[in-house]
Amino acid sequence: MKSFTEQEIGNVILNIKPNKSPGPDGIPGELVKELFFANKIWFTALLNRLLAVGVFPKEWKRANIIFIPKENKDQSVPAHYRPICLLSSWGKILDKLISNKITYYLEAGNFLNPRQYGFRKRKSTIAAIQNIKSFVEQAAIDKKMVCLISLDFKNAFNSVDWSLLRNKIANLPIPHYQIRITLDFLKDRLASYDNFSILYNQGIPQGSCLGPILWNIYINDLLNLEFGDEVQIQAFADDIVLMMKERVLEFCPLVLKFSLYSPGLLSQPWSEEPVA
């Protein structure tokens, strides 16, 4: 087993932002730093034991929810509030350590489609736009027209089906102990607001470091779909673009077929933007 090192853990803890609101454990980041550096060996052994047995402690999976009003929106409308999750300090540390490991394995093994530009190092919106530009320029050289449609999935991150996500995680090309603890990360997650608490089993856990990685894993198969050399799919997180050269009449069936492969995600036709 490739264990967490004291240096890895220390780097994560040193990057804890001061003055952040604590989560359900009530432990501020500055206190976590003091505790860890007072007994690095003990805390390193604890975190590695959790990794070895594949357990993400239940108390570390609790989240306190606060609602932040969106700017210039009617605050009497519930949808105009953005939920923010406050997570336990040690849960955030273990979450970050696991996400660092998984990111390393996925990127080193070239598992993720190169046309996913979101939530990845050395990827950006500029690179995504440049790829579209190159596709259009090549079509112009080939004297072909380009059809492009921007797809919007309704409430994408909150609509992720955990049964599908677990299957995808279980088949990742990463060590089995990483798979075990990641699957446990998704079990028995509790969200609390005031005196009301609920277990949830759908959606990307908001506020977590693993969340964006899990999203990229979830939609990776979509980006790997093959429709021929003159069709290209790319994404920046949940913003997905379909591009096709010339065969305009085939574009609608293509979009329909693509939507059928979308794992539990609902398309919003009124939010989609075709460009020809």
Secondary structure of the chain: what % helix, strand, coil (to 5)?
Answer: 45, 20, 35
| Cα–Cα distance measured from residue 163 to residue 123, given in angstroms and rounded to the nearest whole number | 29
Over residues 246-267, the mean pLDDT reads 61
Give pLDDT, residue 250: 61
State pLDDT tens for residues 13-28.
999 988 888 999 999 9
Neighbouring C-beta atoms of residue 84, cutoff 10 Å: 14
| Cα–Cα distance measured from residue 208 to residue 201, given in angstroms and rounded to the nearest whole number | 15
Cβ–Cβ < 8 Å for 164, 214 = no
Over residues 36-47, the mean pLDDT reads 97
Amino acid at the residue 191: A
Could you tell me the pLDDT band of residue 3, with boundaries at 50, 70 and 90?
very high
Backbone region of residue 73 per phi and psi (left: phi > 0; alpha: psi in -120 to 50; beta: other values):
beta
Over residues 202-226, the mean pLDDT reads 92
Give pLDDT, residue 270: 45
Give the dihedral of Cα atoms 132, 138, 143, 146; nearest 10 deg: -20
Give pLDDT, residue 263: 64
Is pLDDT above 70 for 183?
yes
Neighbouring C-beta atoms of residue 158, cutoff 10 Å: 12
State pLDDT tens for residues 156-167.
888 899 999 999
Could you tell me the pLDDT band of residue 99, with boundaries at 50, 70 and 90?
very high
Does residue 67 or residue 126 have the better pLDDT?
126
Give pLDDT, residue 249: 54
Is pLDDT above 60 for 137?
yes
Cβ–Cβ < 8 Å for 179, 121 = no
Could you tell me the pLDDT band of residue 253, with boundaries at 50, 70 and 90?
low
Cβ–Cβ < 8 Å for 233, 241 = yes
Cβ–Cβ < 8 Å for 174, 217 = no
Q: Does the pTM of the predicted model rise above 0.85?
A: yes
Average per-residue pLDDT for the chain: 88
| Cα–Cα distance measured from residue 85 to residue 234, given in angstroms and rounded to the nearest whole number | 29
DSSP lists the bridge partners of residue 146 as: 245
Find how far residue 259's CA is from the centre of its chain: 20
Q: Which of 99-103, 237-241, 267-271 has the lowest mean pLDDT?
A: 267-271
Is pLDDT above 60 for 31?
yes
Give pLDDT, residue 261: 61
Which has the closest alpha carbon to 154: 216, 79, 76, 227? 79
Is pLDDT above 80 for 265?
no
| Cα–Cα distance measured from residue 84 to residue 17, given in angstroms and rounded to the nearest whole number | 16
The residue with tokens 């009301």 is: 196
Helix axes 162-170, 176-185, angle to 10 degrees: 170
